[in-house]
Structure 1
Amino acid sequence: MSVLVVGMSHKSAPVDLLERVALDTDSSVKLSHRVLENEYVSESAIISTCNRVEVYVEAERFHGAVDEVSRLLAEHSGLTREELVRHVYVHYDEAAVAHLFGVASGMDSMILGESQILGQVRDALSSGQAESTVGSALNTLFQQALRIGKRGHAETGIDRLAPSIVTAGFDAAGDIVTAPSSRILVAGAGTMASLAVRTLVDRGVEPQRIWVANRTFQRAFELVAAYGVSAVRWEALDVELSAADVLITCTGAAGTVFDRERIGAAAGDRPMSVIDLALPRDVAGDVRTLPSVEVVDLEVLAAQAANAELADDVRQVQGIVADEVRSFLAAKNASKVTPTVVALRGMATEVVAAETERVLARLGDDVDDDTRREVGQALRRVAEKLIHAPTVRVKELVDGPEGLTYADALADLFALDQTTVRAVTAVGGEPS
């Protein structure tokens, strides 16, 4: 069994295509369960963010799992399989591990080093645990990825590049966001909206200049209680929009919320900044043709990120990821050969016990206790010397494929009972 990821991100697909593949929470859960219906898949987890959708599985067969995951993604998005496969990427085994570790550390994000992805990876793991689609393999992998992401931020200055998509959007919009006279309207009250409000307050924007509108008024009111901002009902959105200098939108709606006519009527001839942090996009693409309106969306942020130069901090994080990938794979390989070693030692112990009993029975009752102990110890020393070199060698080889081949050869040469080997695997661990 090996980990496999089938995904699509801002690096492989245009934003309009990502919009079609985007998964909300319910869709992610349903897709994760459907993926598990495949006979070659034993575990699944899905990372779905504003700029990526990735399906991670623990798979027995590469091609069978890839075909099924691709088919399900195409079915969900309404794309043909041919349209989809032109924009997806597939990583398997070591490459899949390296990819997830890079994602969790922010190295594969639209904004290099952004920290928001850590929470999204954690959400994917928590959802998989709650839905029982994640087992021991993906749980270990994701926990390690989270640790690596935290390590990268703790040991380097990667946060200086951009801690989140929200801050990058605000930076791109410029001074109008924090200008003392600006009135800011936030459409939506989910995780991204909450982060936007918190970031505004942290940047010194007075709460009384921030209004939050959401279809569920109670969710908007929760932000009022948390940050002291104002809440407005969704039905009054156009009225508030006409008074806003900055619109920050992240509603999670399935289609366009703000079209050209709506924004144009609200803005008129006065300057307005629109920051669209949603995927699918809340703001229609032709809104950017309005002369007085500046639009910052994921497409703009992606273009800016493509021009960013790699910093020393980025290279340092990449080094951390590379080291952690090697350590993870070494531990994984060691866990695969350990059952064979334990089974070999168990077989040797059984042979020694049987031979000791047979020899002592032949010697009869005239043998004293010291002689009996000496006979048993001698047989154990012989057995230990015979298996010492093979067990040491297989442990030395676990960092490469030879270690696994050698473990299989040991099992064959010593005719180890595969039921015993599997039992050791199920229990886990090796006696000291």
Structure 2
Amino acid sequence: MSLLVVGLSHRTAPVGVLERAALTGQTPTRLLHDAAASATVGEAALVNTCNRIELYADVDKFHAGVAELSQLLAGHSGVDLDELTPHLYVHYEDRAVHHLFSVACGLDSMVVGEGQILGQLRDALARAQEEHTAGRGLNELFQQALRVGKRAHSETGIDKAGQSLVTFGLEQVAAGAGPIAGKRALVVGAGSMSSLAAATLARAGVTDLLVANRTPARAERLVEILGGAARVLDFAKVPQALADVDLVISCTGAAGTVIDAPAVAAALASRTAARPLAFLDLAMPRDVDHTVRDLDGALLVDLETLSHAHAATPGAGDVDAVSGIVADEVTAFGQAQRAARIAPTVVALRAMASEVVSGELARLTSRLPDLDERSRAEISQTVRRVVDKLLHAPTVKVKQLAAEPGGASYAEALRELFDLDPAAVHAVSGTPIGAQAGSSIPPGGVPAAQAALAPPAGASAPPAGATR
């Protein structure tokens, strides 16, 4: 497997570009299918969140894969390729694994250490499985990324350094509009982010909580989950409700503005409360018209605001510990893949040796038909023992060498030296990989077919359109 990731995120693209590139509706599904149908792609998965869009693919050619995935992202996002390219990043093989593991641990999140990304990666894998665009390679890779993320959160204090985007956003709202407790709040949307927002508001002690969604059944389900701590609001009545609440959190999948400036201005004019009307917009593209921030009496905190606010936040000491975990896991994962790649060759070599021994013993039997059973058994055991001893040292050594970068050449040399039939090698599925020391890779966790002969983990591949 040659893993390639092409994407853009809050680290490489301004909010304006992310907003225009946002994939909504059925676009992510169409992008997945188009990627998997490409001649250069074997498998594909898409991570699509409010602040990142990343295509992961098993490709047979690096440059062709970069060009194809970049064009697909541009075509489906509607942003011209020339404009999109400067904001794209590219990671290949071990570097791509390092990037995904870092994302899973929350190291690449807008709010470092947040755990919500694990659910988003799980959703990305589930979608790729449902659409049949992810095979064994990407499935194992994403499952391992989820294990690494869980390990980082359980073995370090990264949770203390990180918060959910909702919590961080509410802190910014509280800084400008006073404590959340006692406010009347409205949540627009009923997806995972909106559900987290509603639950967080309920715990924070809001006095009244409304939930509005274009699909009423989803809003009703969320209210039911909250156990009566909220009420359903007709989505069509959101503009009128603005006059009666103090805080609005919006995170829908709408392609356009959900709350416009005129509606907010009208609500502000009819409000009797002296407190400002605060908006926390966690959607991409924006749900709340960005000009709302210019209205007197309104406070708007959106992803762009949060990006700037978090950039000034000091990092936590546990970030270094998590970085170490990621580096160790990438090394173990790469070694496991490379070692697994040579397993079919070793198995094929031993199978060939066994066939040679069996053939020679059969020839011995035909030449010495009067040989008694005890002597025949002793000769058979001796010959097999000699062959096993001759093969033991080179096969153990080649497995060790194959685990290092560039180890594929040893498998090729073994096949050439012993004139192994390629069909016999490919027919072998490979042997299970046991747990690696210091790693969360479970026995059998990485398929033998997965092999990434890559540069050192953590290094960055060239940007889209650049020379590798």
Quickly name the TM-score band, shorter chain normalised: over 0.9
Query: Is 1:29 aligned with 2:33?
Result: no
Query: In the TM superposition, what is the alpha-carbon distance from 1:409 to its structure 2 partner?
Result: 0.2
Given the alignment of the two structures, is residue 388 of structure 1 paired with residue 388 of structure 2, yes or no?
no
Match of 2:351 in 1: 346
Q: 1:402: Cα distance to partner?
A: 4.1
Q: Name the structure 1 match of 2:115.
A: 115
| Deviation of the 1:308 alpha carbon | 2.2
> TM-score if structure 1 supplies the norm length?
0.95
- 1:102 aligned to 2:105? no
Give the partner amino acid of 2:185: I
* Residue segments in structure 2 that go unaligned for 5+ positions in a row: 434-468
Tell me the residue number matched to 1:185. Answer: 186
Which residue of structure 2 aligns with residue 80 of structure 1?
Answer: 80
The match for 2:128 is 128
Aligned ranges 1:6-405 → 2 under 5 Å:
6-24=6-24, 26-174=26-174, 176=177, 178-206=179-207, 209-227=208-226, 228=228, 229-268=230-269, 270=274, 271-365=276-370, 367-405=371-409
Shift of 1:163: 2.9
Identify the structure with the greater helix proportion: 1
Deviates more, 1:119-128 or 1:251-260: 251-260
Q: CA deviation at 1:190?
A: 1.8
* Residue 428 of structure 1, CA deviation: 4.9
Deviations 1:284-310 (A, max 9, x none): 222211232111111111112212222
Scaled by the length of structure 2, the TM-score of the pair is: 0.88
Q: Are residues 196 and 320 of structure 1, via their aligned partners in 2, closer, same or farther at CA, if it must alter by over 3 Å?
A: same
Structure 1 contact 258–282 (Cα < 8 Å) conserved? yes
Compared CA separation, residues 40 and 180, structure 1 to 2 (3 A): closer
User: Against the structure 1 CA distance between its residues 25 and 354, is the aligned structure 2 distance closer, same or farther, given a 3 Å change threshold?
Assistant: farther
Instruction: Confirm or deny: 8 A CA contact 2:182 2:206 kept in the other structure.
Output: no
- 2:25 and 2:239 map into 1 onto residues whose CA distance is 28
Structure 1 unaligned segments of length 5 or more: list them: none
In the aligned structure 2, how far is the partner of 1:224 from the partner of 1:187?
Answer: 12
RMSD: 1.6
CA distance in 1, matches of 2:397, 2:372: 39
Q: What letter corresponds to residue 249 of structure 1 in structure 2?
A: S
Where 1:224 maps in the other structure, the secondary structure is helix
Tell me the SS of whatever aligns to 2:315: coil
Counterpart Cα distance in 2 of 1:177 and 1:223: 26
Question: Secondary structure of 1:174's partner?
Answer: helix
Other structure's SS at 1:24 match: coil
Which of 416, 420, 442 does residue 416 from structure 1 map onto? 420
Partner residue in 1 for 2:443: none
Contact 1:397-1:403 at 8 Å conserved across structures = yes
Q: What do residues 250-303 of structure 1 show as CA deviations (whole Å, max 9, x unaligned)? A: 122101122222222212385111100101111122221123211111111111
Post-superposition shift, 1:56? 0.5
Cα distance change on mapping 1:57 and 1:25 into 2, 3 Å: farther
What does residue 437 of structure 2 align with? none
The Cα shift of 1:370 comes to 1.9
Indicate if the aligned counterparts of 1:338 and 1:429 stay in contact, CA closer than 8 A: no
Which residue does 2:440 correspond to in 1? none
Larger CA deviation: 114-123 vs 223-232: 223-232
**CA–CA separation in structure 2 for the residues paired with 1:401 and 1:243:** 63
Name the structure, 1 or 2, with higher relative contact order (CA <8 Å, separation 6+).
Answer: 2
Deviation readout 1:4-32 (Å, 9 max, x if unpaired): 10111000101111112222362222111
Structure 1 residues 47-56 or 155-164, which shifts more? Answer: 155-164
Amino acid at match of 2:285: P
Instruction: Name the count of aligned residue pairs.
Output: 426
Q: Identity of counterpart residues, as a percentage?
A: 49
Checking the alignment, whether the CA contact within 8 Å between 1:2 and 1:93 is kept in structure 2 is yes
Aligned partners of 2:102 and 2:323 also within 8 Å? yes
How many Å apart are 1:181 and its aligned residue? 3.9
Is the partner of 1:45 in helix, strand or coil? strand
SS of the residue corresponding to residue 166 of structure 2 reads helix
Between stretches 171-180 and 386-395, larger displacement belongs to 171-180
CA contact 2:105–2:152 (8 Å) conserved in 1? yes
| Alignment deviations for residues 328-357 of structure 1 (CA, whole Å, 9 cap, x no partner) | 111111110101100000000000110111
Cα displacement string for residues 29-62 of structure 1 (whole angstroms, at most 9, x for unaligned residues): 2111110111121111101001000010111111
SS at match of 2:392: helix
When structure 1 is superposed on structure 2, of 320-329 and 306-315 the one drifting more is 306-315
Structure 2 residue matching 1:64: 3-state secondary structure:
helix
Q: SS of the residue aligned with 1:200?
A: helix
Q: 1:221-254: per-residue Cα shift (whole Å, max 9, x none)?
A: 2222222201111221121111111111112210
The answer to whether the Cα contact below 8 Å between 2:239 and 2:259 also exists between their aligned partners in 1 is no
Q: In 1, Cα distance between the equivalents of 2:48 and 2:178? A: 28
Distance between the aligned counterparts of 2:382 and 2:183, measured in 1? 88
Between 24-33 and 187-196, the greater mean CA deviation after superposition: 24-33
Change over 3 Å in CA distance of 1:25–1:47 after alignment to 2: farther
Between 1:21-30 and 1:221-230, the stretch displaced more is 21-30
Matches of 2:13 and 2:129, distance apart in 1: 29
| Distance in 2 (alpha carbons) for counterparts of 1:250 and 1:113 | 21
SS at match of 1:378: helix
Deviation at 1:401, TM superposition (A): 3.0
Question: Which residue identity lines up with residue 37 of structure 2 in the other structure?
Answer: E
1:170 Cα deviation (Å)? 0.6
